[in-house]
Structure 1
């Protein structure tokens, strides 16, 4: 177990090199310069801390909670979103929800992989689907959230099978059985969030552009 935690810690350290430039050149300067952005980011950290604290523990290591990482990734970009998720994870450690030894694995399987999945799905929708606000809300938001939540449970399951913590039958019967139940509310949470932000606060979404999703769509018509 110690070897697995050490390997996860090395991966987390390596991942910091991919996000530092974006954090140093975009996130931190904007936090220092814009008070409204500070309030938004602190509110996001608080909301995610509360959301992730409400975990349903099926078995040890097999916890279920809403992620909302699709919304986070589209608000900040995947690099800054991952940086914010690190802050939230350390906050959970301080509140006793996570132990310090659990943080590296948690960052990989409950933060980095879901954020990466969300951003890849968004990029695919942006590249191959029509660019209009309905595609953004339903595909990049709703279906993206459902896919990300399901993938999170699947990768966590495979990891525990590889570690031989549980056998596959136990995981399917006690953990993966919740995938259909979690996918819809996770998708709804992210889809509704992106719908509200794109209509009322589009400046909160780093990946959203009126030119791409609204004006271009009607100009082509």
Structure 2
């Protein structure tokens, strides 16, 4: 099941030729803030920082191995087509970093802490734009904060329904654990989205000045 989900998402993402985003100045939508390839910075930051966060619970003996995701932030910065292969690389690097992280666990992390919440966050963004339009508050709060909570919590529930339990957490408390972890991710994602919108909008492939500031139609 996990392998099928990963391969399906990866094939769909590669079919959209995500490497074009790293060569184009304008990312997914029309915007120009001076960088020739602005998405290289969040991509490299993802590959350097996120593997350590994914591997951290297995690098230290922790009674509660609560797992950081960061997938929704990666999706907002890179866009879904580029986020999927990036998250696959993150899972691979995390596996290489931690000698106690088994291959099957790295696969589970990649799918249920990476690809599934990133995909749900992308779909939530589509619905949000259809329902509420393109407003700055909708993007920051609706996609950055609320979207992260809902996407990660839904991914956690789906993972638990398939038998993937959190280490050290009783089954009847797993929903609470997934809910609390989703909120932690959402606070950081929403905060960084607000900072990037204000100071580094070129690092957000899902953001457009023309759409969210000037109200132009895509």
Q: Do they fold alike, i.e. is TM over 0.5?
A: yes
**C-alpha distance in structure 1 between counterparts of 2:183 and 2:108, whole Å:** 26
In 2: Cα distance, 1:24 partner to 1:44 partner: 16
Match in the other structure for 2:204: 205
* Farther off after superposition, 45-54 or 34-43: 34-43
In the superposition, relative to structure 1, how do residues 210 and 37 fare at CA in structure 2: closer, same or farther (>3 Å)? closer
| Corresponding residue number in structure 2 for 1:86 | 88
Aligned to 1:16: 10
Please report the TM-score for the alignment, with normalisation by the length of structure 1. Answer: 0.78
Q: Distance in 2 between matches of 1:58 and 1:156?
A: 21
Deviation at 1:155? 1.5
Which of 94, 97, 102 matches 1:99? 102
- Give 2:57's aligned residue: 55
Deviations 1:95-128 (A, max 9, x none): 1253223333332222221111111111111111
Q: Is the Cα–Cα contact under 8 Å of residues 141 and 194 in structure 1 kept in the other structure?
A: yes
Is 1:132 the counterpart of 2:135? The answer is: yes
Number of residue equivalences: 201
Give distance in 1, aligned partners of 2:22 and 2:15: 10
Question: Secondary structure of the residue that 2:162 maps to in structure 1?
Answer: helix
Contact 1:122 1:140 in 2 (8 A): yes
Q: Which has the higher contact order (CA 8 A, sep 6+)?
A: 2
Please give the root-mean-square deviation of Cα atoms over the aligned residues, in Å. Answer: 2.9
Unaligned runs of 5+ in 2: 25-34
Structure with greater helix share of residues: 1
Cα distance in 2 for partners of 1:48, 1:108 equals 15
Partners of 1:24 and 1:132 in 2: how far apart?
A: 26
5 Å matches for 1:54-203?
Answer: 54-55=56-57, 63-96=65-98, 98-160=101-163, 170-173=170-173, 175-203=174-202
Kept after mapping to 2: 8 A contact 1:58/1:64: no
TM-score, normalization: structure 2? 0.79
- 3-state SS of the aligned residue for 1:215? coil
Compute the displacement of 1:206 (Å).
1.0
Query: Does the aligned pair in 2 maintain the 1:114–1:148 contact within 8 Å?
Result: yes
Q: Which runs of 5+ in 1 are unaligned?
A: 1-6
Larger Rg: 1
